[in-house]
Amino acid sequence: MAPPISTSDPALPNTTTTTSSAPKSSSRPFLAPLAASARSLLASARRSPVTTLAAAFFLLALVMYGEDARTIAELSIDDYLYPDADLYNVSGLPPLALPPLTCDLSRGRWVFDNVSVPAYREKDCTFLTKQVSCLANGRPDDMWQYWRWQPNECSLPTIKEWIISPERIEAHTKHWKDVDYLIFNTYIWWMNTADIKVRRSNSRYWSENDEVPRIEAYGRVFKTWSDWLNDNIDPARTSVFFMTISPPHLSPQNWGNPDGIKCVGETLPYQNYSQPLDLYHDMRLYDLVVKVASSMEKVPVTVIDITRMSDYRKDAHTSLYTIRQGKLLTPKQKADPEKFADCIHWCLPGVPDVWNQILYTRILSKSSWHSNFSPPLFQSLPLPPQ
């Protein structure tokens, strides 16, 4: 998995557009279902005709296949990522059983698992930016990588690595014409101030603006957003998702560490699942998204709640092991964690990979191909004992 590559207008929803295809091959008809599933994973931007709704496009996943199907079926990332590990036997597990759409994937707990996660190593992923490469930046522990999200009522499938055939890029590009999935999110930039400067209608200059309450500005943006979706999106072709708040961890007293400084020094998730953390998100924004999404009948929007599960992960931010203005934090900057610790962005591998895992699970659950094909690239982990 790779981190998002994005540019954004801080005031407007970010969006991922994904579309893909795989070349047809008459010699490999049994790969047709896999090729069909791959169509949902390769990104291609579609320009918005609405200039007031700026969008940032990033690559969520790049999945292509080649070589022999037997190679794909036998591929195991564990074989080379954990050559010395005492791996458990998953051969007896049932074929992939995707969780039902009625299962709330956002409610569960973090389970320590140093065998099946992380799905990749930081040093092996060339797509990671220096900002989120915490081990390379000097973080002394790697415990944050070994926590798997376990929903309460169902099992989340584990996505195995797929074979990439980069020499076949040109054969694929002719299929990258239509957007299959739109994934939106926006939150953190709205939290800078309680009031937001909004440019007046029909004004010629950005200086012609009014300050309005955050929730009012947010609501106006989402009105534009929902109108644009209804006017421009064909729900028979494109599925729309909205990812909820990615929580920062700035106030350690909220998780019982009154002497702490932001997320600095945190090495374990918050474990009190009977008393969820209150990180003082502006839940009005969360509620507005849910309300708007539930009211959209022409173009359905699936809200993916990543907030509650991420609330527990006070240990997984880049903290002092990141960059500022393109350079690693200096010893002097590290000595001032109140100012320089980054408790907004996440180390990778880490929590954002779980978001992608849940998103991909929902995409597969909504598609039809999985009903008659269980790819060997997944394993469905049993529920742990309560």
Strands 327-328 and 378-380: unpaired
CB atoms closer than 10 angstroms to residue 381: 17
In this model, does residue 5 exceed pLDDT 50?
no
pLDDT per position as a tens digit, 347-384: 999 999 999 999 989 988 877 444 444 443 333 444 44
In this model, does residue 23 exceed pLDDT 90?
no
In this model, does residue 241 exceed pLDDT 80?
yes
CB atoms closer than 10 angstroms to residue 114: 14
User: What's the DSSP call for residue 53?
Assistant: S
The ranges assigned to domains in the chain are 14-121+155-314+354-380
301: part of which helix (H) or strand (E)?
strand 301-304
DSSP string, 6-46: ----TTS-EEEEE-------TT-GGGHHHHHHHTTTSB---
Query: Mean pLDDT over residues 80-93, rounded?
Result: 35
* Per-residue confidence (pLDDT) for residue 178, from 0 to 100: 60
Question: In this prediction, what percent of the chain has a pLDDT beyond 70?
Answer: 64
pLDDT per position as a tens digit, 115-130: 888 988 999 998 899 9
Instruction: Give the pLDDT band of residue 112 (cuts 50, 70, 90).
Output: very high
Q: Are the C-beta atoms of residues 342 and 317 closer than 8 Å to each other?
A: yes
SS3 331: helix
What burial letters (b/e) apply to 32-51, b meaning 16+ CB within 10 Å?
ebbbbbbbbbbbbbbeeeee
Pairwise CA distance, residues 305 & 187, whole Å? 13
Residue type, 381: L
* Lowest mean pLDDT segment, chosen from 6-20, 124-138, 177-191, 267-281: 6-20
* Per-residue confidence (pLDDT) for residue 97, from 0 to 100: 66
Is this structure's pTM higher than 0.75?
no
Highest mean pLDDT pick, 83-97, 131-145, 173-187, 191-205: 131-145
Q: Are the C-beta atoms of residues 176 and 298 closer than 8 Å to each other?
A: no
Return all residues near 250 (Cβ < 8 A) that are at least 6 apart: 262, 263, 343
Pairwise CA distance, residues 262 & 239, whole Å? 37
* Per-residue confidence (pLDDT) for residue 232, from 0 to 100: 84
Q: Are the C-beta atoms of residues 244 and 304 closer than 8 Å to each other?
A: yes
Q: What is the rounded average pLDDT for all residues in the chain?
A: 71
Pick the more confident residue, 270 or 229.
Answer: 270
Token duo for residue 186: 């926006």
pLDDT per position as a tens digit, 176-209: 336 788 888 887 777 778 888 888 878 788 788 8
pLDDT per position as a tens digit, 44-71: 333 333 222 223 222 222 222 222 222 2
Pick the more confident residue, 85 or 319.
Answer: 319
Query: Mean pLDDT over residues 138-150, rounded?
Result: 95
* Lowest mean pLDDT segment, chosen from 58-72, 92-106, 241-255: 58-72
Block residue for tokens 């490999």: 28
* Per-residue confidence (pLDDT) for residue 261, from 0 to 100: 98
